[in-house]
């Protein structure tokens, strides 16, 4: 059963990584991210198939007769369907939505309807998911911090150029175009990381039925920051706003991220160990 539990845990991790690349592709078109996401989705489907084969070998029957079996088969078929959709053109949003549904059903199925000795590994699985959430959140913070630094540089350089202060400081800074591009790449990296981190945290809350945590101040400020970054991408796509305005929105989002960190003293999240 250890092999079975390990396969399931690896499948969940790779499923989450697949979503990460699909989110990246959807917020800003990236053929590379789409290819990686599709490849990881294929690995996910293969691992799900391996789980079914291992269970048949261990139990001597086709696993079909429990809620867990039904949902696992549902997720497997959904993953294979999503893989087929992902290989088609202009279907990245469909593949993403199918992936979110499949990942959600997969995680909750492991917590709510475990079978046999695999039930003993629930606590371990929760800790692994909590680690995944923390790692993704940390990487997201790093990327968004880099974006904020370039956002500040953009505003400083914009102000100096507007006042025609051509000094050594201006010459040592990257151009406005470079600064804006670097900030955008950092936001493009940090936002999908934040989204998947939040999805994992949400599923842990739902799995443990700790609904009160959805109204925790840390959760509220996190979603507020995510909403600002979502607005950032909307404004970026419309191309009706200047780089100056985009840089300011980058800093507003980062200010909410910092506020989110400061709410730890008043939040139940940092006291939560996933148990």
Same domain, residue pair 106 and 158: no
pLDDT at 180 over 80: yes
- Average pLDDT on 120-128 reads 68
Same domain, residue pair 8 and 135: no
Structure tokens at 26: 């959807």
pLDDT at 139 over 80: yes
Same domain, residue pair 106 and 35: yes
> CB atoms < 10 A from the CB of 272, how many?
16
| Per-residue confidence band for 168, with pLDDT thresholds at 50, 70 and 90 | low
Question: What mean pLDDT value characterizes the chain?
Answer: 82
Position 222 scores a pLDDT of 83
Position 19 scores a pLDDT of 92
| 247-273 per-position pLDDT tens digit | 888 899 999 988 888 876 666 655 544
| Per-residue confidence band for 274, with pLDDT thresholds at 50, 70 and 90 | very low
- Tell me how many domains the chain contains: 2
More confident residue, 28 or 139: 139
Position 80 scores a pLDDT of 92
pLDDT at 231 over 80: yes
Q: Of the given ranges (4-8, 184-188, 199-203), which has the lowest mean pLDDT? A: 4-8
pLDDT at 199 over 50: yes
75: CATH: 1.20.120
Q: Kindly write down the DSSP assignment for every residue of 7-71, as one continuous string.
A: HHHHHHHHHHHHHHHHHHHHHS--HHHHHHHHHHHHHHHHHHHHHHHHHHHHHSS-S-SSHHHHH
| Per-residue confidence band for 40, with pLDDT thresholds at 50, 70 and 90 | very high
Determine the straight-line distance between the first and last CA of the chain, rounded to whole angstroms: 22
Position 108 scores a pLDDT of 87
What angle (nearest 5°) sits at the alpha carbon of residue 133, between those of residues 254 and 150? 25
* 120 found inside a domain: no
Position 267 scores a pLDDT of 62
Position 275 scores a pLDDT of 41
Out of 85, 114, 143, pick the residue that ends a domain.
Answer: 114
Same domain, residue pair 60 and 132: no
Same domain, residue pair 85 and 21: yes
* 13 found inside a domain: yes
Q: Which domain holds residue 69?
A: 2-114
Out of 61, 89, 114, pick the residue that ends a domain.
Answer: 114
Same domain, residue pair 77 and 144: no
* 121 found inside a domain: no
pLDDT at 25 over 90: no
Same domain, residue pair 168 and 256: yes
| 51-98 per-position pLDDT tens digit | 889 888 887 777 776 788 888 899 999 999 989 988 887 777 888 889
Same domain, residue pair 26 and 162: no
Same domain, residue pair 110 and 25: yes
Measured N-to-C along each axis, helices 2-27 and 122-162 cross at an angle, to the nearest 10 degrees, of: 20
- Average pLDDT on 153-160 reads 86
- Average pLDDT on 34-42 reads 92
Same domain, residue pair 53 and 148: no
pLDDT at 160 over 90: no
Position 226 scores a pLDDT of 87
Same domain, residue pair 75 and 131: no
């Amino acid at each position: 059963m250890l092999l079975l539990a390990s396969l399931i845990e690896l499948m969940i991790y790779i499923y989450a990584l697949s979503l990460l690349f699909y989110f990246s592709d959807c917020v800003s078109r990236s053929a590379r991210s789409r290819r990686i996401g599709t490849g990881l989705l294929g690995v996910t489907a293969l691992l799900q198939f391996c789980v079914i084969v291992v269970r048949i070998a261990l139990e001597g029957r086709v696993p079909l007769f429990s809620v867990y079996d039904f949902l696992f088969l549902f997720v497997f078929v959904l993953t294979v369907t999503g893989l087929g959709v992902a290989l088609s053109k202009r279907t990245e949003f469909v593949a993403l939505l199918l992936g979110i549904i499949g990942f959600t059903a997969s995680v909750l199925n492991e917590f709510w309807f475990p079978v046999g000795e695999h039930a003993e590994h629930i606590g371990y699985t929760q800790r692994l998911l909590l680690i995944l959430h923390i790692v993704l959140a940390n990487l997201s913070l790093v990327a968004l911090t880099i974006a904020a630094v370039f956002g500040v540089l953009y505003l400083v350089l914009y102000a100096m150029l507007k006042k025609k202060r051509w000094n050594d400081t201006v010459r040592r800074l990257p151009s406005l175009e470079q600064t804006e591009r670097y900030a955008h790449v950092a936001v493009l990296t940090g936002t999908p990381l934040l989204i998947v981190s939040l999805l994992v945290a949400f599923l842990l809350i739902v799995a443990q039925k700790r609904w009160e945590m959805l109204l925790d101040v840390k959760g509220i400020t996190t979603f507020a920051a995510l909403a600002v970054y979502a607005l950032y991408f909307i404004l970026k796509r419309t191309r009706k706003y200047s780089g100056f305005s985009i840089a300011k929105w980058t800093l507003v989002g980062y200010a909410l991220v910092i506020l989110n960190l400061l709410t730890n003293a008043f939040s139940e999240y940092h006291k939560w160990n996933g148990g």
